[in-house]
C-alpha cells in the first residue's frame, strides 16, 4: 500500500525545521475536509505518515504548512505581515500503491517542493 509523507528543511539556515504544524485536507469539488494534522520533529519530519493503508486513496489534497511561528523563532528578519505565514500545496494522488513524499524547502521569502520518493 502507498503512503504520504513530508518533511521541512530550512534552506536559509541549513537545518531541519522543527515544530511546524502541518494540516492535511481532502478536496472533493468545492468540499474541503480536514483529515489529519501533525507537527515536525527535531529532524523536520513527521513521526508517522500523514496517510497510509485504506485512507490512502486517489484524489486531490492540500497540505498547509503553518510556517509563521517557526520563522519568528528561526532568526529571520520579517516584515509585518509576514510574506510566508501559511504555505498551501495542492497536489493529486493518482496511484494508491505508490509512496508520495511532498517535502517543503523553506526560507522566509520563498519555498519549493517536489514529489519525492
Contact predicate 91/5, CB 8 Å: no
pTM confidence score = 0.95
Residues lower than pLDDT 70 in the chain: none
**pLDDT attached to residue 76:** 80
**pLDDT attached to residue 75:** 82
User: Cα separation of 9 and 1, whole Å?
Assistant: 27
Alpha helices in the chain (DSSP H): 68-73
**pLDDT attached to residue 27:** 98
**pLDDT attached to residue 1:** 78
User: Cα separation of 8 and 55, whole Å?
Assistant: 23
**pLDDT attached to residue 36:** 96
Amino acid at each position: 500500500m502507498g503512503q504520504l509523507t513530508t518533511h521541512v528543511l530550512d534552506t536559509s539556515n541549513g537545518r531541519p525545521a522543527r515544530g511546524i504544524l502541518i494540516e492535511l485536507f481532502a478536496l472533493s469539488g468545492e468540499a474541503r475536509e480536514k483529515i489529519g494534522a501533525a507537527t515536525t520533529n527535531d529532524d523536520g519530519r513527521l513521526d508517522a505518515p500523514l496517510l497510509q493503508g485504506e485512507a490512502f486513496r486517489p484524489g486531490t489534497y492540500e497540505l498547509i504548512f503553518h510556517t509563521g511561528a517557526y520563522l519568528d523563532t528561526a532568526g529571520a528578519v520579517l516584515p509585518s505581515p509576514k510574506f510566508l505565514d501559511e504555505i498551501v500545496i495542492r497536489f493529486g494522488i493518482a496511484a494508491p500503491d505508490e509512496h508520495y513524499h511532498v517535502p517543503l524547502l523553506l526560507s522566509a521569502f520563498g519555498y519549493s517542493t517536489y514529489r519525492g520518493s
